[in-house]
Structure 1
Amino acid sequence: MTKDVPARDAEATRRRLLDAATAEFAAYGIAGARVDRIAAEARSNKAQIYHYYGSKDGLFDAVFDEMCRQTLDAVPLDPANLPEYAGRLHDSYAERPWVQRLATWYRLERAGSGVELPVVAESTRAKIRAVEEAQREGVLPARYSPSELLGLVLHLSGFWSSNVPEYDAVSAATSAARRREVVVTAVAALLG
């Protein structure tokens, strides 16, 4: 047996745990998630969760961190074209509906906890700096502060994926293309 086989096995186990945890946390949140269900779905055991991630909260942080990094890599901010950025972010949410569910659980269960995930904090600060620079250069209007403008763009991007089920039911006939168009044109109108 070669030395790298255990590393591959460990990496495969971590991958299965992250995949199972993503589904579990998206469905039940942090408090409702059960490590025994995650371990069973991952064909692992609870001891492995604690070994690799320290705790259920540590596992959630790993899931959330990975989700954020994937989104940042797939949808980099383009301050020169915020409408298209918003459209691409909307597309990302449509393709990965569990992202908004995880973000909702994160907001609900971590608000006021003092827990700050570095990837979220760093990427938010970097985006605000990029918007601020684009405003200074006249690329973006300065009607809103950089953080306000970024927040509005992010919320418009997630508009269709963060509504209550009753709204979703009455807007179900709206096509995917129209949903994207609404996001893009709303951000363009915001920039006026």
Structure 2
Amino acid sequence: MAWDTERTKRLLLAAATAEFSEHGLAGARVDRIAAAAGVNKERIYQYFGKKDELFATVLAEALQEALQAVQAEGTGPEAVGDYAARLFDHHIAHGEIPRLVYWEGLERGIAAADSPVRAAFHAEKVTRMQRMLPGLDRVDAGELLLTVVSLVNAWPVLPQLDALIVPDAGDAATRTRRRRAAIVAAVTAAAAAAIESTVR
């Protein structure tokens, strides 16, 4: 029977996503990834190269999936608020994404910005933000997008701050709804302020 290369790659990427999300780049173990995928670890090197290359592939795949799943739709500040809400929902359902992004920042820092693939990905996201807020230049669109991403990604990976700052916010479902609403309000206001600054 022929070896199913694509299936093996999918299994490895799923196992690597879980491993990197839990342990980061430095703490992740190739042998654990291989064991979780049920394959020999030599397959990892054969298909993806070194561990840091596998990490880059995992993050790029996760972000690309999010880009396709959460479309930037409509125009105006409320549309941007809605986009933030849907991105928040997606990242709550796929908590590995914010964790991977934070691990990348902690372990790779500015070096991660050297990737042409990642640069193109984020350039497309800025362009989508400009379409949602016509008249906004790329710098202001980038600032707003950074605000959205920072707000959406921070909450799932900083539970200790949430517990310290908002200790009596109710059960988990209530707390998630309240945080979502707060993000939507902040992003909508930021988008309105950005548009207002373009007409002055």
Q: TM-score range by the shorter chain?
A: 0.7 to 0.9
Which stretch shifts more, 176-185 or 83-92? 176-185
Question: What CA distance in whole angstroms lies between the structure 2 residues aligned with 1:89 and 1:161?
Answer: 12
In structure 2, what is the equivalent of residue 71 of structure 1? 66
Alignment TM-score, normalising by the size of structure 1: 0.83
Q: Structure 1 residues 171 and 56, CA, compared in 2 at 3 Å: closer, same or farther?
A: farther
Residue 18 of structure 1 pairs with residue 16 of structure 2:
no
* Equivalent of 1:86 in 81, 84, 87: 84
Is there any run of 5+ residues in structure 1 with no aligned partner, and where? Answer: none
Is there any run of 5+ residues in structure 2 with no aligned partner, and where? Answer: 193-200
Question: What CA distance in whole angstroms lies between the structure 2 residues aligned with 1:113 and 1:105?
Answer: 13
In structure 1, what is the equivalent of residue 120 of structure 2? 122
Q: Structure 1 residues 179 and 52, CA, compared in 2 at 3 Å: closer, same or farther?
A: same
Q: Structure 1 residues 171 and 158, CA, compared in 2 at 3 Å: closer, same or farther?
A: farther
Q: Structure 1 residues 43 and 78, CA, compared in 2 at 3 Å: closer, same or farther?
A: same
CA contact (8 A) 1:68 1:120 kept: no
* Equivalent of 2:102 in 86, 101, 104: 104
Runs of 4+ in 1 over 4 A off after TM superposition: none
Counterpart amino acid of residue 177 in structure 2: A
Question: What CA distance in whole angstroms lies between the structure 2 residues aligned with 1:83 and 1:19?
Answer: 31
Question: What CA distance in whole angstroms lies between the structure 2 residues aligned with 1:69 and 1:113?
Answer: 20
In structure 1, what is the equivalent of residue 195 of structure 2? none
- Mapping of 1:1-192 within 5 angstroms? 5-6=2-3, 9-78=4-73, 80=75, 81-113=79-111, 116-132=114-130, 135=133, 137-138=134-135, 145-168=140-163, 170=167, 173=170, 174-192=174-192
Quote the offset at 1:91 in angstroms: 0.2
Count of residue correspondences: 183
Question: What CA distance in whole angstroms lies between the structure 1 residues aligned with 2:5 and 2:169?
Answer: 43
1:49-69 CA-to-partner distances (Å, cap 9, x unmatched) read 100011111111111111011
Alignment TM-score, normalising by the size of structure 2: 0.80
CA contact (8 A) 2:152 2:183 kept: yes
Overall identity of the aligned pairs, in %: 39
Q: Structure 1 residues 114 and 61, CA, compared in 2 at 3 Å: closer, same or farther?
A: closer
Q: Structure 1 residues 48 and 159, CA, compared in 2 at 3 Å: closer, same or farther?
A: closer
Q: Structure 1 residues 47 and 101, CA, compared in 2 at 3 Å: closer, same or farther?
A: same
Question: What CA distance in whole angstroms lies between the structure 2 residues aligned with 1:117 and 1:64?
Answer: 12
Counterpart amino acid of residue 55 in structure 1: K
